[in-house]
């Protein structure tokens, strides 16, 4: 099995992005699967182009995209991506689409094909906080999740794909009092744990456990 893991470059005034730094720490093999990471620009549409090129080159069985969600307290596999860009801030090339569909020929939303609840359970077993997220936002993270699932739908039908958000790393919150954070090593360890679940459930249905929210 071949697993492609993506991480964004820094954005929003941050000098570092734990998404990129954590995937760099992943081992080259996990439970017999080959793992490759690729850096993705935090730019609408260009991010999808870089990802598609990496998928063509590597021919993965699974794509797991990783993004920073400052303020979250744990690792959060995403359930759904919506066909909408609504950028609160500009991306790294100054683009700021507002209420624009990502793909005019795409559905309103795509659901992940990854075992998100098994991923949460595996991260918990690694001693780290995690939960299912039901919103990937409307910035480049949601954009890339929608795009990878669109690519799977249209061009890579045998690939499973999804997205997981991670918290700030400790170095980012030195000047952000009371902001949640996690060590870079623990973030990477949590991603690796999630990958073990992806591998274990490659040909199985996701586990049934409570992961919904009231709001």
Catalytic residues: 78, 141, 165
Run of H or E including 100: strand 98-100
C-alpha 139/C-alpha 85 separation (Å) is 6
DSSP bridge pairs for 82 = 109
Using the Cα atoms of residue 118, residue 78, residue 134 and residue 109 in order, give the sign of their dihedral: negative
- Name residues whose C-beta falls within 8 Å of residue 109's C-beta, 6 or more positions apart in sequence: 80, 81, 82, 83, 146
Residues 151, 52: Cα–Cα separation, whole Å = 8
Cα 96 to Cα 100: distance, rounded to the nearest angstrom: 10
Do 34 and 2 meet the contact criterion of CB atoms below 8 Å apart? yes
* Pair of tokens at residue 33: 């699967």
Radius of gyration over alpha carbons of the chain, in Å? 16
The torsion angle over the Cα atoms of residues 105, 151, 116 and 28, rounded to 10 degrees, is -160
């Amino acid at each position: 099995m071949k697993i492609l893991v993506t991480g964004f470059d820094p954005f929003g005034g941050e000098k570092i992005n734990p998404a990129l730094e954590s995937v760099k720490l992943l081992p080259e093999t996990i439970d017999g699967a080959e793992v490759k990471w690729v850096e993705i620009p935090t730019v609408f549409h260009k991010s999808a182009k870089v990802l598609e090129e990496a998928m063509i080159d590597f021919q993965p069985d699974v794509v797991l995209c990783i993004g920073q969600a400052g303020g979250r307290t744990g690792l959060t596999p995403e359930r759904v991506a919506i066909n909408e860009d609504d950028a609160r801030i500009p991306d790294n090339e100054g683009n700021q689409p507002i209420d624009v569909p990502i793909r005019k020929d795409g559905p309103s939303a795509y659901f992940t094909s990854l075992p998100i609840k098994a991923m949460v359970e595996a991260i918990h077993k690694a001693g780290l906080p995690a939960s299912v997220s039901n919103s990937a936002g409307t910035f480049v993270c949601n954009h890339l999740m929608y795009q990878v699932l669109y690519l799977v739908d249209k061009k890579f039908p045998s690939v499973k794909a999804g997205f997981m958000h991670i918290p700030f790393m400790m170095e980012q919150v030195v000047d952000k009092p009371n902001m949640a954070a996690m060590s870079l090593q623990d973030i990477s360890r949590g991603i690796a744990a999630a990958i073990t679940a992806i591998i274990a459930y490659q040909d199985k249905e996701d586990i049934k456990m409570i992961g919904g929210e009231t709001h």
